[in-house]
Amino acid sequence: MIEQVTPRDLPAWLARARTEGEAPLLLDCREPAEWHAASVRADGAELLQMPMHSIPPRLHELDKDRPVAVLCHHGGRSMQVAMFLAQRGFARVANIAGGIDAWSLQVDPTVPRY
């Protein structure tokens, strides 16, 4: 089962992931136009923007042992990506429930909602 993490709880998830080894990855699987409309940073995580459709051919660029939290607009695409990664042996994957929209509501209201 894929772990669900709200934007509000993401800092604690990232802190736990850091204590287990490598720095976590925040994988934003939205499209480039969406990144331009609204973007976020998470302290303690590297941000990688990789559209959902590009992940299968670029899978080799991702470390299976690195904790990955996946972000999209509302949480649907990120859940699909998280399941895809987990099925391919990624050790620690979480879906950011509610996506960047929930991030704006729960964490940072300056992040535009679209």
pLDDT of residue 54: 98
pTM confidence score: 0.95
- Please report the pLDDT score of residue 45 as a whole number: 95
**pLDDT score at 103:** 97
93: pLDDT strictly greater than 80: yes
How high is the pLDDT of residue 7?
A: 98
Range 34-60 average pLDDT: 96
72 is catalytic: yes
Q: What's the first-to-final CA gap in the chain, in angstroms? A: 29
Number of neighbouring beta carbons within 10 Å of residue 86: 18
Query: Is pLDDT above 80 for 21?
Result: no
Which residue is catalytic, options 17, 40, 52, 72?
Answer: 72
Give yes or no for residue 5 having a pLDDT over 80: yes
